[in-house]
Chain A
């Protein structure tokens, strides 16, 4: 058959070649080179073009995956890019850092018998080709609108909203407390997963599209919420969640025990060429140290692999459940193991030992008990199974909680949930304050970048509807100037 697609029966799954672990350990560069055109086309052609595409069903953005796989397989890359970009603000980022094994690829219909399609790598190829070919162009709205939207937080949620609102012609100003655009993308995620140049490239495009950025601006410090509300017709809060959950164990206050985000930010800043005193001082440098990372999520994986690259003597990951039940991406675990990380599954820290600085972690073996209220099996300690791990640097990667925004922003009316996240209308993402919307981790709690993008887009639609309603109510002409 001359059929270009459905080739999974004869073509086996092949991901882009990764650099050997030994080489990877030495630098912070991305670990794979990506597909060439032929490779991408062939792998995309494995797609079964399902009547019910579970890849799309399980993609938070509901990307039209089978459709751009088909276009890629047929060599119609520009159309493929347009299709991918239509539902995803930052396909180049999702292609790199989404845990596809738990989302699209993990639900690929042919995954079970044949190995799923390498969706992420194809997406990456498609977008990188688009950048290389100049198909990715700054936003040029068809009409310019007078209304302006202020966005707090230049992370994935805020940027996704900014992009979408700007396309509709709104004036958009994005504020961030950091000095660079990208939020977690730039300071949280290590370079070997997401090259900072990729984020900067996107930031430049957004600027070129007419989005204003106000950096080093911390809401609550440099202005309160009311001031910002006056300045803009609508506001979006997309600050993320940054309050690290601390380890509740004896010795948690010792030197050499650091929160994951602090550790990763320092490393990323160094990679960006900033002067980072804590690295210079060795406080946040794993070089030559025995590192223990506590936690089993993606952040933990980022930490262990950063530590490897910083030259740690030994890197161990301590996690209280087993491999099958960890929240992080299996793919990342595999990468970490390749790179020499030791995993202690079913082990929880009991105490950090040391006088001033940590010298070891005492941990205890766990077993999985019956499922708890969240449906996951509860780990239970096995009495008398304690053991010690030598440790010079302990990194806590236990998750994040929201900051107390109503207080911080001087806006006591801003409604929050029991978890401290902002309370919103799930359809519009409007908060309890008129014209104030919220998106991303600050709404759903720490989660994936792809969810943040989805929320940002959703919030943009909510804001658009809100502003249009206001506009027709006041009967102000919408278009300031037509282009």
Chain B
């Protein structure tokens, strides 16, 4: 392609993008609200507050060292954005003003950095005139405009096409007000200008900054091009006391200049998970927001958050208004992004009071967040409550503070640095530029806590627990009355037995297994509660879910009841509230709350009369809204919505509808903050219902009928040994735990930020209903509306009230029942398919496939049919069965879920066909890496890497063609898992590097993927450890998955797998199986549309799985964009699975999903049967292709125009519109399928050089020592070399330390990832995150340089998430580590001198020695291995999570010897003076160690924890 045509393609892309993306947003599945960005962030500050040139230079230099945290467009030049925020160099601008002939005043010049429309000159003039008018109106004068010099040669073509006109307006402080007043005026002026420009319908106008203090230079170039593009920054007069810088990574390829960061006050790395809730609540707060500081301009600053803002921009806007209203940056950070305080055992009381107060003021902005911010006086760096982003800092002897996502970004001589640290979870560090002082976290919080008597203020907070004295009263409804109400609420026996019973018995939600094969609620013929139409959203890739069990300390269900006041105030009036520990209320608690509300509450009946004619439901909702509004206007502070009035003549409005209707109505009328919305609903029984209620705005919920049902069952003796109070309490606990889980899968920790956020996707709800009642909830295919819902509730009610009601309906939603819901795996189809594959009969397969087609609709695709491409073609011209079969996978099921027999059979069968099987997350026996003597190959060609990293070693990763990163799985996206000890056989323990019988926990997130750039890093690591393999990323369909897919493609993934909600599982909470995720039809279509829109589709393969059963499914998936197809459950059926759905019970009667020897003996599957299945599927596909006139699958990939909707669902629906799925994005000149041969390559790292230099050693097996200087941009050092070693010598073929690499400087992320035995990496300096990730036998040593003045045990030397998933090897680091040290370590030994929060989390093996303080939640979920912590001051107690470990002082000579050995080695390897000192006084030191041991291991230890026990045993 010629340069010219390339340029025109770029131009076309940029010019077409706005229209094309708008079209996809309107007609397709794109929603700009789902765009994400993430990045590298940091600041440099002169602690003395005096501007220096070095600060700017260092800031610019830092950006050059984080390019790898951004993404680069194919042109190699267009970046996702970068920028810097510095002080205005007054001299520089004054000189400029002087040059233009103006006289310059004494006061500060304010400068506005403005993006103007580039080509539309009229619009440009409009903007200029608005800007000037508003400035003049405030009494300031204008020096003039300056066209900012730029070098367009350094930016990419796309960036250049999209480039705005960049100008600066310079303003004189003519009235001579003080700087603070000037700055405040400029804020109000800017807000007014923004509003007027918006009103003038000019879209391309943007103020980067408008200030008399500071200025922001940013744009769509690569980070390292900042100063080349803006030569201003090279001017020596550009001096500053601070610089905030940012490198962006976005989930689209459109170069939007205004989205670059920093924003006006902050730069943010991470993602605000609660954005929807926060923005909604900000709207609620706005009417009451008043600040005297804004004088008569109070309304001009609203709306605070502009429509369409990104999460970071929205956070910035709120941050700014809070600052402008008079709070300091540290306080605003504390208020918006508080520390996890409510469960902390080590927090000072004054701090607790401060946070308790903050909690009454407003909802936190929750999610991963490293921020660098300034309010003009303070420059701060802050971290979210979980510490989910890295933030390292260094302080130099000459007063420079350097903070950034990585250490080493600003190259500083080691001898200059006097301290190195990190910003921990919830922490702030900052410089008070006015005072010229640096403050640590503790100092800042102490000062803030002392500003007001918070301790007194919070005494007014009343606690519900203190008001609830009486026990539970007898139930209101029993016997027939109860039964009628149960039926009217849609309860089934299944609900009571399968869902409710375990909640009371175990105080936990019920577990189930396998996927959901029932119809989407909108397609079901029966009654489905309104909650069935809401799908839980979850985090994937761009932010991490949280582990609500192991990290419960950061979670909170605290619910405040009472008026929300002016969030800009700071006084005691804000604490007049009732505090509930949970929004779920038992009947006794409800009574107590009701009593405390007194006359302030009003009850609203949410039922309607049965004899009302049509439209009764809609009218009832209108009435409820009116009554609610009237009540609030009358001054009622609490609304109680109740459906207890249900009876023969009255029908309930679904509680979710009522709650959403009232919440949305009150928000619209600016009344929401004046009242609480309390629900008493019969239908709330399972966790999901509660989650939806709170998500649509309910404050509290009293599930009175579920409780009366429990009372009834209690009276029948179903809970032996429990009082009814116990039962109610357990049920509530189960719901609470469930709510935490639902929130945590979104990455949300605090329920007040979850409430009203509508963090769901509505599938099958009418668009207009959603817009009216659940605004903000994505609903892309419309569906049931008022009329349909009314009909369904009326039918249910009629049935419930009819005749004699002996028993509840049996159900059939979770398990097949004859009279219940349709299941796609219908009993006769299962048998027909098994007969077909057993007898190799394609005729029988056809009758299976025809039977599947004849079922009532289950999936959206059942409403679609094909349009032929052309005339039928002869079958022999179509892709062969062999070609088609190669596109198939057998799903990714782990050994552990499957029996070894079933797992191997699948692999053998897929290999025979040249198709793909995936190992799943349980590791794989190395014996399977080589074919068997009979030629069968049981090696899975796809190896999975999941959050637990079980069995992930260098060897494992080198025996595959592809590595699949499982981000989420359809049955429980956003959740981790647990393999209970009884399933951990000796075999499984060996493969997973664990102990037989010990529980194995999979964390919800990958602890090395909290953000999109982290995923890019993991892909990079994997492409280093296996230089040939492709990398695939498994995502689960949900609204927004397309945006994520774009980010993933930009991260250099080769394959993106879109899994449906209906995917299988060996064990999941029932509500997750049923209510999380979306169908692949939607997710795949969205991903395909967005990848195409962003011109990335041809760079990446799309794969789909979840519920694919026939050739028809495959062809539809292909037309929606898929090229490869995973078929999991159906392949199990081919091996004999009959959907018993007891995988979680270890009692699979056909030996497929069990580890029990007796049951495994019953396995009757065979590779032949599996081959038959896939051959039939391929033949089925061929038949269809021939009929449609297509000769190959590639021909129809992405041809959604060949699909047409042939049914619009039930007649009672408002509409059911699948056209958004069928929209085709403009592919430009690119094909609609992947054309990459091999893989998307990543840049080389130091290993390329190392391999070159060790060629001799590798060839001859000689020992070698290498030495290099290293930068943080050189990542995954040692991985590629380890691959070479593994392939040539095996993972343990070389002696330890055979090749020693000495590095000097700051090593990039993933130092020593998957390093194998024989490789030793020694770093003199420090290292970033993920050191020793997946360490497979190598040795890593990190130590300060010999000349460094740092005291090793007081400074941070390595980053977060070190030794994640390590299986063997050693690490010695002379300094402290970051958060999550040794997370999921299963065999490595390590010594460090302190670590951050969540140390040794989920560890299952290995020995960890920590010679210094640890952060909170140490040893959470640790089920194996051993840890030692040096704690001379006895501070360890409150920091350990005692749920799974015990700890004690050293009491065993055996273990003391183990510890001593490691400390000696540490001292020897690192030369740590601190370690040497401990050794010199070992007698004393030994007594100061804690030994931490998993409870589960106590009985399995070869050497007991104390000599006494050892003696007793002997």
Q: A residues bordering B, Cβ < 8 Å?
A: 1, 3, 6, 8-9, 48-54, 56-57, 62, 64, 66-67, 70, 74, 76, 79, 82-83, 85-86, 109-110, 112-114, 140-142, 167-168
Contact = CB atoms under 8 A, between A and B. Distances in A.
Interface string B817-852: 111000101011010000000000000000000000
Contacts of A6: 1142, 1145, 1147
A50 B1141 contact: yes
A296 B16 CA distance: 80
Contact of A110 (B817, B827, B1149): B1149
Interface in B1150-1208: 1156, 1158-1159, 1162
Given A48-B1142, A52-B815, A114-B1149, A167 B810 contact: no
Given A8-B1147, A76-B718, A54 B810 contact: no
A167 B1142 CA distance: 38
Nearest to B497: A70
Contacts of A51: 514, 815-816, 1139-1142
B803 interface: yes
Nearest to B514: A51
B806 A82 contact: yes
A113 B806 contact: no
A422 B830 CA distance: 34
B410 to A, nearest CB: 58
B810 A141 contact: no
B226 to A, nearest CB: 59
Nearest to B506: A2
Nearest to B513: A51
A52 B810 contact: no
Given A6-B1147, A56-B818, A86 B806 contact: yes
B716 A8 contact: no
B807 A50 contact: no
Nearest to A142: B804
B493 interface: yes
Contacts of A142: 803-804
Contacts of A141: 804
Contact of B823 (A3, A52, A70, A86): A52
A52 B1140 contact: yes
B1138 interface: yes
Contacts of A74: 718
B580 to A, nearest CB: 33
A235 to B, nearest CB: 23
Contact of A9 (B827, B1139, B1158): B1158
A50 B1147 contact: no
Contacts of A1: 982, 1145
A176 B90 CA distance: 112
Contacts of B819: 62
A263 to B, nearest CB: 38
Contact of A83 (B493, B830, B1139, B1147): B493
Given A1-B1145, A76-B718, 15 more contacts: A3-B1145, A8-B1149, A48-B1149, A49-B1142, A50-B1142, A52-B823, A52-B1138, A53-B815, A54-B1138, A64-B810, A67-B497, A85-B806, A86-B806, A112-B1162, A167-B803
27 contacts: A3-B1145, A8-B1149, A48-B1142, A48-B1147, A49-B1142, A50-B1139, A50-B1140, A50-B1142, A51-B815, A51-B1140, A51-B1141, A52-B827, A52-B1140, A54-B827, A56-B817, A56-B818, A57-B818, A57-B827, A76-B718, A83-B493, A85-B806, A86-B807, A109-B1140, A112-B1162, A113-B1159, A113-B1162, A167-B804
Contacts of B1141: 50-52
A355 B114 CA distance: 123
Interface in B701-729: 716, 718
A76 B815 contact: no
In this complex, which of A52, A62, A83, A140 has the most chain B Cβ atoms within 10 angstroms of its Cβ? A52
Nearest to A107: B827
A167 B806 CA distance: 11
A1 B803 CA distance: 41
Contacts of B1149: 8, 48, 109-110, 112-114
Interface string B125-143: 0000000000000000000
B347 to A, nearest CB: 39
Nearest to A7: B1147
8 closest A-B pairs (Cβ-Cβ)? A51-B1141, A62-B818, A57-B827, A113-B1162, A52-B1139, A51-B1139, A50-B1140, A52-B816
Contacts of A79: 716, 807
A56 B826 CA distance: 13
B1464 to A, nearest CB: 46
A142 to B, nearest CB: 5
B1046 to A, nearest CB: 37
A76 B712 CA distance: 13
A50 B815 contact: yes
Given A52-B1140, A168-B803, A9 B1159 contact: yes
Interface in B782-810: 803-804, 806-807, 810
Nearest to A74: B718
A53 B493 contact: no
A49 B512 CA distance: 12
B739 to A, nearest CB: 26
Contacts of B827: 52, 54, 57
Contacts of A113: 1149, 1159, 1162
Contacts of A85: 806
A52 B830 contact: yes
A114 B1138 CA distance: 16
Contacts of B1162: 112-113
B1145 to A, nearest CB: 6
A85 B807 CA distance: 10
Contacts of B828: 57
Contacts of A114: 1149
A416 B548 CA distance: 68
A209 B806 CA distance: 16
Contacts of A67: 493, 497, 810
A41 to B, nearest CB: 15
Contacts of B497: 67, 70
B807 A52 contact: no
B730 to A, nearest CB: 15
A74 B497 CA distance: 11
A76 B807 CA distance: 14
Contacts of B514: 51
Contacts of A50: 815, 1138-1142
A110 B1148 CA distance: 10
Nearest to B1143: A51
A141 B802 CA distance: 11
Nearest to A82: B807
A113 B1163 CA distance: 10
A79 B493 CA distance: 11
A49 B1144 CA distance: 12
A6 B1159 CA distance: 13
Nearest to B517: A51
Contact of B817 (A9, A48, A53, A54): A53
A51 B493 CA distance: 15
A67 B817 CA distance: 10
A81 B1233 CA distance: 60
Nearest to A57: B827
Interface string B962-1000: 000000000000000000001000000000000000000
A140 B807 CA distance: 16
A113 B1159 CA distance: 9
Contacts of B804: 140-142, 167
A166 to B, nearest CB: 11
In this complex, which of B819, B1139, B1140 has the most chain A Cβ atoms within 10 angstroms of its Cβ? B1140
B931 to A, nearest CB: 31
A464 to B, nearest CB: 10
Contacts of B1159: 9, 113
B807 A48 contact: no
A163 to B, nearest CB: 12
